[in-house]
Every structure is written in structure tokens, then in C-alpha cells.
Structure 1
Amino acid sequence: MRLRPLAAAAAAAALLLTGATTASAGGRHHDDLGLSRHDRADLKRWGHDTWTSFVAMTDETTGLPADNIDASLDPATRSGYTSPTNIGAYLWSTISAEELGIIGKREARQRMKQTLATLATMERHEPSGMFYNWYDEATAAKLTVFPTGETIYPFLSSVDNGWMAAALMVVRTAEPSLRRQADALLEPMNFAAFYDPAANGGIPGRAGLLRGGFWAAPPAGTSTPGTVDGTPVWFTNNHYDITNSEPRIASYIGIARGQIPPAHYYATARTFPASCDWDWLEQRPVGVTRTYEGIEVFEGAFTYRGMHIVPTWGGDMFEELMPDLFVPESEWAPKSWGVNHPLAVRAHIEHGMVEAGYGYWGFSPASDPFASYAVYGVDAIGMDPTGYPSDAEKTNVDAGYEGCRPATNPTPTFGDGVVTPHASFLALPYAPREAVQNLRNIETVLGAYGDGGFYDSVAVRSNTQADRYLSLDQGMVLGALGNVLGGGVLHESFGTRQVEKVLRPLIGQEEFSAGVIK
């Protein structure tokens, strides 16, 4: 169905913008979001339908979810592959579904028990205890060829194993009867396998960085030979070197479990230095230098619409807020994440509703309405010089680098904006009314909704819909609802006293250069 979305959504714009211009610095408690009974009913209904997509994606024998499924929810359209992230998303979504009353305790326990039992049989990299990146969801076998025929070089990803470990940490706390099963899977996972102490800029004594991962055998592309516990591996050439991105979940877990030094958190960059050596960035950062854990940190921020914001790599909601599903960052770090998260949400709202004029907002990597998969974001608050665009035309913003090079595209004209519903769910703790209204418009005006909940993305001007469901994105939806409507179940289950004792003082001491410009 093709509707005319912009005119129909115009009446909601004023409501959305009221909240966008007054977003507070810091999230609110889960029971203090100001949601009406109608809001909660819609959120519960959306959660119920989202769970329906997980049931359809999950193999009945293995208990493993497929990576994706078509909007028809026909099991024959399951992708034929899954990942540690997808499996983790199914586990924490099961916890949320039980907490929301979508399924009963017995069903939730049985589903998780089945999945954990399958995980125990799956091939892993024994020296590190980590899971490979791709498995067949119907057989649980490690894949070496995708269903398309493309060769897979077996890879171990730091961030994907981070999401798996996060899910196991949630399960072991939320369902004590499964603690032994979850612990048996979690305990061998050693995030030190990804940690490179030499990636420290040549500064003696400075903490290192996480690698993207490693291959268990020589891959086709470039890599760096090394060892994990004496076993040869081939490391990625990249390290995760910025703070505001999804790999921080692996950092949090490695630090909390004593496998990575706490100072590693401050070895990553808030932005790169404000120097002409870094003028490939799309704008020059502002900020001051502070010292934490013996490390000098440039507290850099980008400037956007009257705000200073610590950017993600792509300016997307996934990098900014997915780790916040597990670590209550705004509560534990009120002067850093407690300021930045609501401002990033405000930036998404103002970009979609004002700057680009889409009538909708919320941009994050997702299924591409015109192809298979693509990255979307608010380019002006992303560090990627090629940009995570907010539209199908891939419009790139470049404000120039003050004192070093001129702007190339400071005030672009945006085209067919692509919004991703899971971004609005992630934003719920910081702009609840605005998020609910945005989602209502996506459902009722655009019609980007099916039996399994919101379709993965929609290009709003042409109303071209990516009519499929992804485990990862559906997991963000149910994870957010588990926190917002389920009493913070993921926060409480992940952020145990032991985890809080390590992480809260570490991240709580920091002060970002983020804030509203006065």
C-alpha cells in the first residue's frame, strides 16, 4: 500500500518538536516516563507482534533464530544462517517477553533451555571460548558457505561475542534455574583474546584497544598473524578506537570480568584530536582534555543545532543506545552518557522533523528498502567521513574543518529519508512521548507494519518498505520494551552488584564536553 506520508504526518510534527527542543540531560527511571495507558497498550501490542516474528524466525528443533525472515513470516523464507548476536537477541527477547506477559514463565524457560542446550553443542574456538560468526540455524553447524554460495572464512568477532555474553549474563540472573547452563557457556569466553595492549599509540603504560576479531585460518584478505593462548590466529588489521560505538559492550564485559584492564575504557577516543592532521573529519571538534585512570582524554564533541554531542562513527541510534540496553549508562555516568544520550535522541528528532523535513525520525543500520542492507544515521553527528546518510540518495554532509579546509556540503537538500523503527524504541527512555507518536505514524500513516510488528525500515517520501524482520533489530525492540515496561529487566539482570561495583565508578567519573550551547 502506498500512502502520502508527509501531509498526514504534519499534524504530529508540533507535538514531536515540543519534546525535541526540551529534552532533559539524563534518562528517567523506567516507571517515570509519563506514558499514558494508551501509550502502554500500544507498546505492549507492538511487543506482542514483534515476539511473533521471533517465533517465526526460530527453528523448532535447535531453538536458534534465523538472521532474518520475510514479512510473510513463512518459515521457508528464513535466512538459513544465524550469528552470536542473533542468538543473544533471541535470549534477551525471551526474558523481555516473559516480563511483559507475552509468554508464560514455563514457555520462556523451555525456550531458553533449548537454545542453551544447542549452544553447548556448537563448535567454538576452544582457546578463546568464543563463538564463530555464522551458523546454520536449522542444524547449529558452523558455516563455511552462505546459502548464496559465498565462501565464509570462519571468523570470531569481538562485538558479536559481546552481545552473546551480554545475553548469557542476563539469562543467568533473570532465570536462576538456567544459571548453570548459562555459566557453562559464559565462563570460557575470554575477551582478552581480542585485547591488543600494543595498540596504545606508542605510549608506554597506556592501555590498549580491542581488535575487531580474528580468523581461525588464513582469510582471503589482509590480516595480522598472531596467537591466542599459543594457538595461531589471524587478527583483523582494525581496532575499535572510538568510545561511542557498539563495541563498548565487549569492553564493558571484558572489564567487568577482569579480562581487560579498566583503563582500556579511556584509551578509546571521544573524538579524534582537533588538529589539521585530522581534517578528514566532517567538522572540527570542540572540547577540553581531562585525565582519568592516568590517561589524558580529549573530551571532544561535535556541534549540531545548538548542541555539543559526542559523536558515534555513523551518527546512528544503534551505536549510541544499544549498549545502554544493558549497562544503565545514564544512571551510572550522569555527566557523560546521561548528557549525551538525550541530546543524540534530540538530534535525530530535529534532523528528521526540521532539518530534513521528513516528518519522521530515527535512523540506524537496517534492511535497505531498495536492496538488502544499508547504514543510516544523522551524518552531522557521525565521524565517518563518507557519512551514514539519512536518505536513500546517500546525501553527505560536510561542514568543513575550521582553520584547515573549507566545507564541501554544509547545507544539503535531503531526499527520501529512511527511518528505522527500532531506533525509536531505543529512544523511549529519553523521548517517550515523541517515540510513541513517531511509531504510531509509521504504523498508521505509512503502513509499515505487519503480523511480526514494524517492518525493518521505510523510505518515507516514496513509502518504500523493507518488508522483512531482522533478529538483531527485533531484539532491540523487545530489549527496550523489557526495560521500559518490564521494570528495567535487562538493566537489573545485567547490572548486578558485581558488575556495578566495577563499571559504575569507572564510567561515572567522566565528564563529556556534551551539552546545550548557551
Structure 2
Amino acid sequence: MQVRDATATKSVRQGWTGRTRVALVVALVALLTASMPASGVYADQSGGDNNSGQNALNAQQRAVLYNIARDTWKFYSADVDPNTHLPLDNIGPNGKRGTYTSAANVGVYLWAVVAAHDLGLISREGARAEIAFTLIEVAKLARDHGFLHQWYDTTSGHVIRNPGDIDCATETTPTFDNCYFISNVDNGWYASGLIVVRSAMPELRGLVNTLLNPMDFGLFYDSRPQTACNVNPAVTGNQPTGQMFGGYYVGLPVEQGSNWQHYYHNGALYSDPRISAYIGMGLHQMPGDVWWRSWRTLPPKQCPTDPDFSWQGQWPVGGYWQVYKDPQSGKRFNVWEGHYTYPGSDLTFIPTFAGGMFEALMANLVVPETTWGTKSFGLADRRAAQVQVKYTTEQLKYPVWGMSPSSTPDDTGGYGGYGVEGLRFPYFGSGADASHPNLGLSQCHGCATEDVVTPHASFIALDVLPQRAYTNIQALRRLYPDLYRPDGGFYDAVNPTTGGVGHRDLVLDQSMIMAALDNALNQRKLQRHFAADPASAAAHRYLSFEKLSIADTGNGDNSGGDSTGNNNG
């Protein structure tokens, strides 16, 4: 069914008619595409129908979700700057607009436009025009090695230090602030959006490649010598080499002087920065080392110089050391296949750093983890959602679940880190031992609070717990009617105890909802777009290769029972 939303296509910008704009885009795309070689197409390996069997969404449920997609798509007509065609970070109450954007915002906005086309909410011509105008503008932005900076002013396209802060043109000497910081994870989401567009709309391949080809994710990889230890004591600062850095500072390389003190590693593989590992390996810019040298849980010591991770949320940690032979290089790696166990049960899972839902499940919106990684991170995705449901309903006694970083549940325009950390379970910090164990649910303890629910968490869980997620979405609308409106879908956050709502929309969170609905209603179509691109090959190989130390007994999402019940670990 093809539905055209006149407001969504934004037919008039600065006096241009939609037909004139589209014609210009077609001409520009033709010029860019003509000089670019066609890339190969990776065979679709995303699997068959989504939500099959007893967990399948029925026709009525699908109709409800489709209407939510239609309402959510209306948000974008107000969100995109009419002059620069860049997506705004957020729109708040009383017309307040967050006129700044980031690499992640651009990437997920591309997801949303593709999803809207897949769902019949915008014509192909309209979607192509919207994407092309944005990418043409992105091509004008200041970049480094093809990567986008941390923040841009959407009214001018200039790099800014922070939202509402100075124009970075006033800072002429490199320093350790956001004028010079290039984020690993944000550019991972940006690249994922480019890859999805390249697959979904091959006619834009040339334009996409002009932006994607200069990007070298190897810049984020710590290629310094590795040891058999968890870290390398020979490297200044005793660094965990072979992992990804959280980013880099332009003109301030990590190996010079004391610069290393300003850098950090994305040590936890099961968190949102893994999107950059998938893409970096897929583009042959990072070796498979990054997969094995990053950690599932923080590991016990292998050498006296290794860090003491007994402060982590759960300690002692269950698991074992497993030697893997890398499927690409043939190198051998000793990997700590650790896991947490939900207290009082046999439910085993891989923790994220701060317990937020998008840390666990955002990558699955584009990378087919649930299909390719049935014994690795696809299984971990389902367990992460089960832990959220179990803890929120049984320990916190909330009527709804879904914690993930989001706006605050008020109209202050604040943003907070929310996640299931198991703060109600015993925690002894670095003093934990077998007699007094830490029993938390995340790697960090106290990095997030557990008092806010965000709707996007339910939508990204549709792929792993479809019936539970759908029921929760309906409960959010029923119990908190102020949380939803027809001209934009869900607002960003609610306090499940007081009912307080943050009347604010983030393009990041709304785009996760659009992507999740494309997958739920179109047999994982956004995942299939990514899977059809050659850059997905490494993700498929590594997800299907590894077996985590969490067992699967086949317990899934039973609509008639507790899908978070005990599993044999």
C-alpha cells in the first residue's frame, strides 16, 4: 500500500517546488553516478520471515504498528532544516528546536527515510530526493579522513564545540575538545546509513561512495603490539591493544607524548560501538583481532600486570577461556567467554556497559544479528531484552519496561543515561568475592539510573521478543496517554511511577523506531538492505563463527507466559 504524506515530502523549501527539487537531485545524482564504478552485491543472507510461529505479529497488531510508523514519520517534516537539509538533533516543547546534529543523527536519519519508503510512506522519487539533498550537504561539511566531527550547527553546517557553544573556526590550534574529536561509534552509525542507502537505492551509489570511500576505520583501531595478557605493559599506560579507541583527536595522535591520557578504548564488544567493528572489518580496514581482543565481560587476570576487574557489576564472573582461530588471518586468540547470571535463576546473558537497551540492540536494527548470530550476539540480544523485562517488572514493579538513554521525563530538555544495572541487588565493589558477590546486571554500577522508560526500547526489542514488546508498546499508550500523539508518534520518555512525560523527540530515537518497524513489518527489510552490501560479509562470518558461553534452551517470547523464565546456563 502506497501512502504519500504531503508534509513528510516537504514539497516546498525556500520557494522551490517538489518537482524542481527532484529534477535537480536527479541531475546531480546522474553526474556523480556516471563516473563511479558499480560495486558488487553481497547475497541476501538475512533469513526468512520475521516473528514466525507462535510469536508472529497478527494482522491487527501489524496494522497498529503500521499506524505508529505513519505517525512517527510525520516528525521528520519538522525535524529537517529547510536550508541545509540536515536532521536536527531534537524538537522539544513549545517549538524549541535543537539546531545541531551529529554523525549518528545523519546516519539514522538515512535509515528512517529508507524505512519510510519501504513502508510506503514516501515515494521512491521523494525518498531519493530527501537522501540526495542531505548527502550533497554532508559532502560540504568539514570532515577528517572522511569522518564527521562531533557536532554541527544545522543552520550553517559549521562545526561547533558543543550544542549552543562556539563555532570551531575560532579554535585554530588542536586541543582535546569536541572541535577536534572524531567519534568512533557516531561515525559507525553514519557509515551504516550510507551502506543501507547504497543497497536500498543503487541509483545513489555514486554519491554514497564519494562519502564512504575516504573513511578509514583503521584510524580507530589500536594497532600497537599485543601480548598474551589482557593489556600490554610495554605500552605507556598499560593499554589494552587490539581494541578500538572511542575516537581520535585531529592533530593529536595517541602515540605522541602524553596524548594517550585523553584516549579511551571501547573494551566491551557487546555495546553500541560494535557497529564500527562490523563495518571496519567489513571494509577490510580492521583485522579480526578487534573481535577477539575486545571483551564480552571484563576478564579475570591472565598476567600480574592485568587490571583488577573485580569492581564490575557481577563478580565472580562465570565463564571459561576459549582459544579461537581467526577465520580470516588464522591467528589464535585466547578469549574470555564470560557471562553474567540473573540472580536466583539460570538465565545467563552478556552485560552491556551501563544496562541501556540501545547498547545491546541498536546494532541489530541493521546487522542481522538475530539470524547470523544464533549462538552469539543474536542470542545475547534476546537475553538482554529478557533481563530488562524480568528486572523491571519483578524487582522495580513497574507496569512497563524499556530503559535506555533518553530525554528526561520532563520539559527541561535534559538527557540522561538510563539502564537496567541491577541496583537493587547486592554490590560490594572491588571487595566482592565468592562469599560476598556483586550481583549487578551491567558492567558499570551506578553509571545509569533506573527510573525512566523510553518507547524506543520496546520497538528495538520487537525483533527478539515480538509479543512482549508489542504488549508493552500498547501499555505505554494506554497508561500514559500524554506520551503519544498522532502528528509525531511517541514522545521520548516517561517516568513510570509519576507518569511525567518529556515532550521531546530525538531524531536518534525516532529513527530507531522507524528502523525497527521496517524490520517488524517487512521481514527484516532494513537488515536485508545491509546484508545485501559487501561490507556486511565480516559481520556474517564472525557472528556465525563464535559461540558465547550462554546456552539457549529454545525458550522464546511466549505471549501466554513469562518469556524471561529460567533458562539452563
Q: Name the TM-score, length of structure 1 as normaliser.
A: 0.83
State the one-letter code of the partner of 1:258. H
Instruction: Find the counterpart in structure 2 of residue 326 from structure 1.
Output: 366
State the one-letter code of the partner of 2:466. P
State the one-letter code of the partner of 2:355. G
For residues 141-184 of structure 1, the C-alpha deviation after alignment (integer angstroms, 9 at most, x for no partner) is 22245325698533211111100000000001101111110111
Which consecutive unaligned segments of at least 5 residues does structure 2 have?
A: 1-45, 168-176, 235-239, 302-306, 327-331, 552-566
Task: Indicate conservation of the 8 Å contact 1:71/1:469, yes or no.
Answer: no
Cα distance, 1:236–1:213 mapped onto 2, change above 3 Å: farther
State the one-letter code of the partner of 1:256. G
Task: Indicate conservation of the 8 Å contact 2:278/2:538, yes or no.
Answer: no
Instruction: Find the counterpart in structure 1 of residue 50 from structure 2.
Output: 30
Instruction: Find the counterpart in structure 2 of residue 5 from structure 1.
Output: none
Instruction: Find the counterpart in structure 2 of residue 131 from structure 1.
Output: 148
Instruction: Find the counterpart in structure 2 of residue 39 from structure 1.
Output: 61
Task: Indicate conservation of the 8 Å contact 1:353/1:361, yes or no.
Answer: yes
Cα distance, 1:410–1:173 mapped onto 2, change above 3 Å: closer
Q: Name the TM-score, length of structure 2 as normaliser.
A: 0.76
The 2-side partners of 1:470 and 1:48 are apart by 17
The 2-side partners of 1:193 and 1:202 are apart by 19
Instruction: Find the counterpart in structure 2 of residue 250 from structure 1.
Output: 276
The 1-side partners of 2:310 and 2:501 are apart by 37
Instruction: Find the counterpart in structure 2 of residue 474 from structure 1.
Output: 510
The 2-side partners of 1:397 and 1:57 are apart by 44
Cα distance, 1:182–1:225 mapped onto 2, change above 3 Å: same
The 1-side partners of 2:181 and 2:449 are apart by 37
The 1-side partners of 2:349 and 2:157 are apart by 42
Shift of 1:264: 1.4
Shift of 1:278: 1.9
Match of 2:427 among 392, 398, 404: 398
The 2-side partners of 1:65 and 1:288 are apart by 45
Q: How does 1:128-167 map to 2 (within 5 A)?
A: 128-144=145-161, 146-147=163-164, 152-167=178-193
Cα distance, 1:236–1:474 mapped onto 2, change above 3 Å: farther
Instruction: Find the counterpart in structure 2 of residue 375 from structure 1.
Output: 417
SS across alignment from 1:277: coil
Which consecutive unaligned segments of at least 5 residues does structure 1 have?
A: 1-25, 228-232, 381-388, 390-394
Task: Indicate conservation of the 8 Å contact 2:455/2:492, yes or no.
Answer: yes
Match of 2:232 among 195, 202, 225: 202
Task: Indicate conservation of the 8 Å contact 2:311/2:432, yes or no.
Answer: no
SS across alignment from 1:320: helix
Pair 1:297 & 2:335 matched: yes
Pair 1:99 & 2:118 matched: yes
Cα distance, 1:416–1:209 mapped onto 2, change above 3 Å: closer
Instruction: Find the counterpart in structure 2 of residue 517 from structure 1.
Output: 568
Instruction: Find the counterpart in structure 2 of residue 432 from structure 1.
Output: 466
Q: How does 1:245-284 map to 2 (within 5 A)?
A: 245-274=271-300, 277-284=308-315
Cα distance, 1:188–1:265 mapped onto 2, change above 3 Å: same
Instruction: Find the counterpart in structure 2 of residue 63 from structure 1.
Output: 85
Shift of 1:300: 0.3
The 1-side partners of 2:140 and 2:338 are apart by 46
The 2-side partners of 1:54 and 1:196 are apart by 38
For residues 313-359 of structure 1, the C-alpha deviation after alignment (integer angstroms, 9 at most, x for no partner) is 01121011111111111211211123221111111111122121101
Instruction: Find the counterpart in structure 2 of residue 15 from structure 1.
Output: none
Shift of 1:483: 1.2
Cα distance, 1:103–1:410 mapped onto 2, change above 3 Å: closer
State the one-letter code of the partner of 1:492. R
The 2-side partners of 1:416 and 1:510 are apart by 32
SS across alignment from 2:353: coil
SS across alignment from 1:419: coil
SS across alignment from 2:100: coil
Match of 1:423 among 449, 453, 457: 457
Q: Which has the higher contact order (CA 8 A, sep 6+)?
A: 1
The 1-side partners of 2:156 and 2:520 are apart by 35
The 2-side partners of 1:417 and 1:146 are apart by 26
Shift of 1:234: 8.0
* Larger deviation, residues 265-274 vs 193-202: 193-202
* Larger deviation, residues 150-159 vs 50-59: 150-159
The 1-side partners of 2:119 and 2:93 are apart by 24
Task: Indicate conservation of the 8 Å contact 2:420/2:450, yes or no.
Answer: no
State the one-letter code of the partner of 1:475. S
Match of 1:116 among 131, 135, 143: 135
Match of 1:181 among 180, 183, 207: 207
Cα distance, 1:397–1:66 mapped onto 2, change above 3 Å: farther
State the one-letter code of the partner of 1:286. G
Cα distance, 1:116–1:226 mapped onto 2, change above 3 Å: farther
Cα distance, 1:120–1:153 mapped onto 2, change above 3 Å: closer
Task: Indicate conservation of the 8 Å contact 2:403/2:450, yes or no.
Answer: no
Task: Indicate conservation of the 8 Å contact 2:421/2:450, yes or no.
Answer: no
Instruction: Find the counterpart in structure 1 of residue 14 from structure 2.
Output: none
The 1-side partners of 2:395 and 2:225 are apart by 39
Pair 1:81 & 2:100 matched: yes
Cα distance, 1:405–1:84 mapped onto 2, change above 3 Å: farther
The 1-side partners of 2:549 and 2:220 are apart by 29
The 2-side partners of 1:397 and 1:459 are apart by 24
Shift of 1:236: 4.1
- RMSD of Structure 2 on Structure 1 (CA): 3.0
Cα distance, 1:28–1:237 mapped onto 2, change above 3 Å: same
State the one-letter code of the partner of 2:461. A
Shift of 1:277: 2.8
Instruction: Find the counterpart in structure 2 of residue 18 from structure 1.
Output: none
Shift of 1:225: 5.5
The 2-side partners of 1:97 and 1:368 are apart by 27
Instruction: Find the counterpart in structure 1 of residue 33 from structure 2.
Output: none
For residues 439-492 of structure 1, the C-alpha deviation after alignment (integer angstroms, 9 at most, x for no partner) is 111112112113311111110110111110001111111111111112322211
Shift of 1:409: 8.6
* Larger deviation, residues 426-435 vs 397-406: 397-406
Larger radius of gyration: 2
Cα distance, 1:203–1:90 mapped onto 2, change above 3 Å: same
SS across alignment from 2:150: coil
SS across alignment from 1:143: coil
Instruction: Find the counterpart in structure 2 of residue 288 from structure 1.
Output: 320
The 1-side partners of 2:440 and 2:283 are apart by 44
Identity %: 33
Task: Indicate conservation of the 8 Å contact 1:301/1:513, yes or no.
Answer: yes
Instruction: Find the counterpart in structure 1 of residue 73 from structure 2.
Output: 51
Cα distance, 1:345–1:141 mapped onto 2, change above 3 Å: same
Pair 1:310 & 2:341 matched: no
SS across alignment from 2:312: coil
State the one-letter code of the partner of 1:328. P
Task: Indicate conservation of the 8 Å contact 1:210/1:239, yes or no.
Answer: yes
Shift of 1:396: 7.7
State the one-letter code of the partner of 1:254. G
